[in-house]
Amino acid sequence: MRGARYVASPNCDARPAGTAVTLLVIHAISLPPGEYGGDAIERLFTNRLDPRAHPYFKAIRGLKVSSHFLIRRDGELVQFVPLGKRAWHAGASRWRGRERCNDFSVGVELEGAEDAPFASAQYLRLQNLIRTLRLRDIAAHSDVAPGRKTDPGAHFDWARLLRHLAALR
């Protein structure tokens, strides 16, 4: 993706043949939880997170996950998985009657926590990314994995995002 810093994640595979990408899933992540900056998210998505670096990292040791994109607090866009491949971001999931959302979605992680507001730079980058990808179906991780996931959380400003997207039409 133009304008993104690319960091290759091994945590991806081929999408099922003939599957169109129709959904964008919004996530929130901070590592350690509630802390921003640093390279822990990149290390997690590239299987290089040192479990000795923080007590929380022991709990997620061996986790094999990724996302197509990460939007940092300052708006920096980092890409981990090519759009033509399936990133491992949604897990057990369902959207509008379809199982396995990873098959037909793009995952976007926002650096943040569910109990805190996201930065203006992140909304601007997300809006631009959605416009570039031309995906109209957008869901929260909590929407595709209810009862299992709660991100991006109550502090994500859906009204702000939807106002911008409506202006694009």
Among the listed residues 35, 99, 109, 114, the single catalytic one is 109
Q: Burial, 18: exposed, middle or buried (Cβ in 10 Å; 0-12, 13-18, 19+)?
A: exposed
Contact 162, 153 (CB under 8 A): no
Q: Burial, 17: exposed, middle or buried (Cβ in 10 Å; 0-12, 13-18, 19+)?
A: exposed
d(CA 52, CA 60): 11
93 C-beta neighbours (distance < 10 Å), count: 23
Instruction: Check if 109 is active-site.
Output: yes
CA angle 53, 39, 15 (to 5 degrees): 110
Residue type, 71: I
What is the set of active-site residues? 109
